[in-house]
Amino acid sequence: MELESIRQRHQEGLSGEIKNQLVACLQKNIDEFAAFFKDEKKAWQKEIDVFTALKLYFLQKKTINVREEMNSQIEEMSKEIERRTKADPRADSNQIKLEWTKQNAAHWRAHRILEIIYVLNENRNLFMNMVAHIA
């Protein structure tokens, strides 16, 4: 179900921003990725393909654009605050933020990482070209 919603967003062209953020993040951190790739090859004690290492890198990094990801979470909290204060005008927005964080932040992060990996896979050639000199 979750993967299907990501696939649908991608087909509707809604994952372009993540793709752009991935490109910018990789460009900015290409040397860090090269060191990560070298370390991963040592850790695995065998050859590891660069695309697998790239996915592992982003799984370990957990973020590609902190500011945008925080803004997205704040937007989701704001929607929840609006929804709940419509139902109960006395609802405490700070309490709603805390509850949203406890109930949704971990899931939001896991979903975001899954979406990042999906976009990587769907744009494999682009990202392989970016790291071809490292392999």
Question: Model pTM greater than 0.95?
Answer: no
Q: How many CB atoms lie within 10 A of CB 45?
A: 7
Residue 135: closest CA among 38, 62, 26, 46: 38
Q: Which residue range(s) make up the domain with 47? A: 2-131
Residue 117: closest CA among 34, 18, 25: 18
Beta strands in 70-112 (DSSP E): none
| pLDDT one-digit tens code per residue, 1-58 | 777 877 777 677 767 888 999 999 999 999 999 999 999 998 988 888 999 999 999 9
Tally of structural domains, the chain: 1
Residue 102: closest CA among 122, 80, 69: 80
